[in-house]
A and B are shown apart, each in its own frame.
Chain A
Amino acid sequence: MPVPEPLRPSEIHVEHGRPVERFAARTAGMTASEIRALFAVASRPEVVSLAGGMPNLAALPLDTLAHEVAELVSRDGQVALQYGSAQGVPALREQICEVMALEGIHADPNDVVVTVGSQMALDLITRIFCDPGDVVLAEGPSYVGALGSFAAYQARVVHVAMDAHGLVPELLREALRTLAAQGVVPKYLYTIPNFHNPAGVTLAVERRREVLDICAEYGVPVLEDNPYGLLGFTGRIYPALRSMDPNVLYLGSFSKTFASGLRVGWALVPPAVRDRLVLAAESATLCPPTFNQLLVSRYLTAHDWRGQIKTFTEVYRERRDAMLAALETYLPEGSTWNIPDGGFYVWLTVPEGVDTKAMLPRAVTARVAYASGTGFYADGFGSRQLRLSYCYPTPERITEGVRRLAAVLEAELDVMRTFGSAARPRPSLRGPQAPSPDTN
Chain B
Amino acid sequence: MTESNAVVNPPANPPANHPADPTFPSPTTAPRTDRTVAVLAGGLSHEREVSLRSGMRLAAALRGVGMSVREWDADAALIERLRTDRPDAVVVALHGGEGENGSVQAVLELLGVPFVGTSAAACRRAWDKPTAKAEFARAGLDTPDWVALPHATFRELGARGVLDAMVERLGLPLMLKPDQGGSALGAQVVAESADLPAAMVSCFAYADTVLAERFVEGTEVAVSVVEDGAEARALPPVEVEAKGGVYDYTARYTPGATTFHCPARLDDAVLATLQETALAAHRLLGLRDVSRMDAVVDAAGRVQILEVNVSPGLTDTSLLPTAAATEGTDLGALFARLVDRAVARG
Chain A residues within CB distance 8 Å of chain B: 1-7, 9, 12-13, 15-17, 19-21, 23, 31-34, 36-38, 40-41, 44, 46-47, 355, 358-362, 364-365, 367, 412, 414-420, 422-428, 430-431
Contact = CB atoms under 8 A, between A and B. Distances in A.
B201 A422 contact: no
B256 A21 contact: yes
Contact of B1 (A15, A31, A36, A428): A15
A16 B4 CA distance: 5
A419 B44 contact: no
Given A16-B6, A20-B255, A41 B1 contact: no
Contacts of A41: 44-46, 48
B127 interface: no
Contacts of B257: 31-32
B250 A20 contact: no
A227 to B, nearest CB: 28
B155 A418 contact: yes
A9 B10 contact: yes
B205 interface: yes
A13 B3 CA distance: 10
B255 A37 contact: no
B151 interface: yes
A428 B253 contact: no
B121 interface: no
Nearest to A422: B197
B92 to A, nearest CB: 18
B54 interface: no
5 contacts: A3-B333, A412-B205, A419-B154, A419-B198, A425-B198
Contacts of B188: 428
B328 A9 contact: no
A361 B46 contact: yes
Contacts of B160: 420
Nearest to A20: B256
B284 to A, nearest CB: 30
B195 A426 contact: yes
B48 A430 contact: no
Given A32-B253, A34-B185, A419-B200, A40 B48 contact: yes
Contact of B31 (A1, A12, A34): A1
Given A7-B325, A13-B7, A1 B205 contact: no
Contacts of B248: 430
Given A423-B198, A424-B198, A426-B199, A7 B48 contact: no
Contacts of A44: 42, 44, 48, 75
Nearest to B202: A428
B116 to A, nearest CB: 18
Interface in B1-40: 1-10, 22, 26, 28, 30-31, 33
Contacts of B145: none
A44 B256 CA distance: 30
Interface in B33-75: 33, 42, 44-50, 52, 65, 75
The 4 closest A-B pairs by CB, nearest first: A6-B328, A20-B256, A428-B202, A32-B253
Given A4-B328, A16-B6, A41-B46, 18 more contacts: A1-B31, A3-B329, A13-B8, A21-B256, A32-B249, A32-B250, A34-B185, A37-B249, A40-B49, A355-B202, A358-B202, A361-B186, A361-B205, A419-B197, A419-B198, A420-B159, A420-B197, A431-B249
A419 B204 CA distance: 11
Contacts of B290: none
Interface of B: 1-10, 22, 26, 28, 30-31, 33, 42, 44-50, 52, 65, 75, 151, 154-155, 159-160, 183, 185-186, 188, 194-195, 197-206, 248-250, 252-257, 325-330, 333
Contacts of B5: 16-17, 20-21
A359 B205 CA distance: 6
B46 A364 contact: yes
A3 B26 contact: yes
A7, A32, A424 pick with most chain B CB within 10 angstroms: A32
Nearest to A5: B328
Given A13-B7, A359-B205, A428 B186 contact: yes
B107 to A, nearest CB: 17
Contacts of B200: 415, 419, 423
A403 to B, nearest CB: 19
Contact of B8 (A12, A36, A431): A12
Contacts of A3: 26, 28, 328-329, 333
A46 B44 contact: yes
A207 to B, nearest CB: 39
A428 B33 contact: no
B46 A36 contact: no
Given A16-B6, A37-B50, A419-B159, A361 B33 contact: no
B34 to A, nearest CB: 11
Given A1-B31, A425-B198, A414 B8 contact: no
A40 B52 contact: yes
Contacts of B22: 6
B49 to A, nearest CB: 4
A422 B194 contact: yes
Contacts of A7: 8, 325-326, 328
Contacts of A430: 248-250
A407 B257 CA distance: 37
B44 A17 contact: no
B330 to A, nearest CB: 5
Nearest to A367: B44
A196 B332 CA distance: 50
A252 to B, nearest CB: 33
A426 B205 contact: no
A425 B160 CA distance: 18
Nearest to B65: A1
A187 B325 CA distance: 50
Contacts of B154: 418-419
A33 B252 CA distance: 10
A38 B47 CA distance: 7
Contacts of A2: 30
A37 B49 contact: yes
A2, A5, A418 pick with most chain B CB within 10 angstroms: A418
A426 B198 contact: yes
Contacts of A367: 44
